């Protein structure tokens, strides 16, 4: 496995696009049959970040929470009963690997969302959780 925090380079560079670009990306459906999208490379990223690293369980909890409702780091910290700095670390890892995006990472109360690619591959995430016994 690579030694850096970003196992998989960000699939899309969301830092250079505005809210309109994010909305367009979210509406752009590359899915094939049945509305389900499957990217085997992305599934490997999920396995690495969730199933085979020390912080995988906490990252999984964060993804589940953000999937249920977008939230800022303080809200995530309170809801998951984890240290704020721990949340910031995991959010950084998830963002670097293209699983989450934020509306404004420079802002204290920045809200985090799943990326369109993560939303399309959420079934793979649930499958991984089931296989590692988290669900």
Domain positions in the chain: 49-135
pTM for the structure as a whole: 0.72
Give the pLDDT of residue 36.
58
Q: How far apart are CA 87 and CA 15, in angstroms?
A: 20
We find that the CATH architecture of domain 49-135 is: Orthogonal Bundle (1.10)
d(CA 13, CA 125): 21
Rounded to an integer, the average pLDDT of 50-54 is 89
Q: What is the pLDDT of residue 38?
A: 67
**pLDDT for 16:** 38
Two structure tokens written together for 11? 């699939």
């Amino acid at each position: 496995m690579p030694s850096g925090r970003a196992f998989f380079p960000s699939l899309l560079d969301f830092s250079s696009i505005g809210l309109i670009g994010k909305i367009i990306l979210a509406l752009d459906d590359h899915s094939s049959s049945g509305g389900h999208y499957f990217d085997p490379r992305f599934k490997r990223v999920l396995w690495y970040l969730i199933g085979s690293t020390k912080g995988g369980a906490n990252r999984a909890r964060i993804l589940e929470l953000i999937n249920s409702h977008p939230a800022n780091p303080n809200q995530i910290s309170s809801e998951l009963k984890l240290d704020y700095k721990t949340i910031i670390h995991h959010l950084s890892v998830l963002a670097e690997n293209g699983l989450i995006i934020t509306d404004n990472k420079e802002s204290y109360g920045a809200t985090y969302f799943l990326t369109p690619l993560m939303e399309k591959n959420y079934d793979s995430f649930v499958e991984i959780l089931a296989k590692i016994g988290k669900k």
